[in-house]
Amino acid sequence: MLLLTAALGIVGMMSLIAGAYVTITGGARWLGAGVVGVIIGPAVLYLAWHLIFRARWAWIALLVVTGLLFLSSLARLLFTPEAAGPAVTEIIGEIILAWYLTRPRIRANFRN
């Protein structure tokens, strides 16, 4: 769980940094792309922080996000079959993560 939390922390920091960079430099066609990164970054960091302390809501949020990512990967697989490799890899990773999060030993670690 600590490795997953560290990975989420890195994703949050990179999203925040990239979003700020794109917003400041105007590196995207749509300014909102940078703003989204600036908003998503701290949200992911907040989630990662609460995963460290095993908050029940953080476990639920991570499970919901995993499900949404699974649906996104499945849609990408169905609508862009030429890019099937990465989509299949993501689907496998998301299934493994959902399986891991729902293990009784892991689920029991998150308090109410």
Of the pLDDT bands very low, low, confident and very high (cuts 50, 70, 90), residue 111 is confident
Sign of the CA dihedral 25, 27, 30, 33?
A: negative
Tens of pLDDT, residue by residue over 59-97, are 999 999 899 888 988 988 898 888 788 889 989 999 999
This prediction has a pTM of 0.75
Q: Are 87 and 69 within 8 A, CB to CB?
A: no
Amino acid making up residue 90: E
Q: Rounded to an integer, what distance in angstroms lies between the CA atom of residue 69 and that of residue 13?
A: 19
- State mean pLDDT over 2-19: 80
